[in-house]
Structure 1
């Protein structure tokens, strides 16, 4: 069995495409795959969210607003996950559709509407989104990102559950590269040629052996 961790910016269009690629991979591959969408919040993510909305990096008020919006959205996502991984993923994707495709602004009312659409218990959701447990889950995600040296969203880490000696980090990956890696058609060590190296570029995809 394989585990795939996809680190995402909830307000990033590329992350939405990568999420779809991971979901497609889970359907296309013969291998058993567990996957998680792990929200990432750092200065790179915040500035890219600002850039998408036309704000300058020096606009500190906009930076603070983007940081708060992303943080609240992530806590909403964690609260939705408490009611099941599938519901949580559906909530995240539906929120991204509303914010990125439909151009709506984030609000508590929008989060409530999306939660209802995703068959999420609203009373429990509203309680959980402000809970210490949701905040702890957020901090656990950021620690995981730090441990895996993740600095950019749209990064995927693949582990083989039968061999935890190493994992492979993919940056700027395509669906084909991810598919080939998961299905054993791309050996990261063979691609590296030397075990002493830790990074190789294949088809504009950066692979790092962790």
Structure 2
């Protein structure tokens, strides 16, 4: 691809983008939640050149979390992730208001995707927010309906699809893809370029943003110009809600500086502050 083409990527359609990332994710995984700032930054800087395909790959830890011992282990994992990444999540939820049916939450995502990939992505983020920010039980059907409404889904269609064999089979298909691609943990990212003869690059676990950025540029073979980051207000306008640590990581600033800028927006009544377990979120005011 010529350098001239990199100067204007507006001609790419969603289907024509030269790089695709398979993102294997578990909606209940705190590590997948901690990956969010890096995914946001990839989208902001390289969006003209890549698309992200979410593939659900729920771990046994979250699918089988019925005993008190299993819930304590999951709670410990959440708290460790919060400590390492700074991304707010409170493990005590697994003792107070646990997700009773992780399988249903995953099937719900596939039901949302039946209304389009963007609808599915909005719904996935919404259930993560309900889980990690609001500390809700995302296997509760009323909570899932709230997520569907916030994601602007057709509610009647969603209600039908979540109980359909099609959504369940779609989730099983995702699990099969994970098995065939030898994916055993979440999050895992597999990078593919437009040359079908090239093997993908698989990265499992959490790494600094620079690692993912380097892989994107390596797979594209030529270094494309990064898009300029939007103002923080525009960032919140796009993603609706974000933790302080997300803003700090995306804009490469300190937590103190991020909070200062966010408070300024709050005082101007652009956003509102949400205190949550182990951290703070900020919501754009529509």
> If the length of structure 2 is used for normalisation, what is the TM-score?
0.56
1:115 aligns with 2:148: yes
- Cα distance, 1:31 vs structure 2: 5.4
**SS at structure 1 position matched to 2:170:** helix
Which has a greater percent of strand?
Answer: 1
Cα 1:182/1:116, change in 2 over 3 Å: same
Q: Which residue of 1 aligns with 2:177?
A: 144
Larger Rg: 2
Where do 1:57-76 residues align within 5 Å? 69-76=101-108
Aligned residue number for residue 199 of structure 1: none
- 2:161 is aligned to 128
Q: In the alignment, does 2:119 pair up with 1:87?
A: yes
Cross-structure match for 2:75:
53
Give me the whole-angstrom Cα distance separating, in 2, the residues matched to 1:47 and 1:138. Answer: 17
* Structure 2, unpaired ranges of 5+: 1-17, 78-93, 222-286
Matched residue count? 178
Partner of 2:201: 168
Aligned partners of 1:170 and 1:97: how far apart in 2? 25
Cα distance in 1 for partners of 2:31, 2:59 equals: 17
Q: Secondary structure at the match of 2:200?
A: strand
**1:96 corresponds to:** 128
Stretches of 4+ aligned residues off by more than 4 angstroms: none
With 116-125 and 39-48 compared, the bigger mean Cα shift is at 39-48
Residues 1:179 and 2:196 aligned together: no
Task: Report the Cα distance in structure 1 between the residues aligned to 2:133 and 2:58, rounded to whole angstroms.
Answer: 21
CA RMSD of aligned residues (A): 2.6
Unmatched 5+ stretches in structure 1? 56-61, 188-210
Mapped contact 1:2–1:31 kept (Cα < 8 A): no
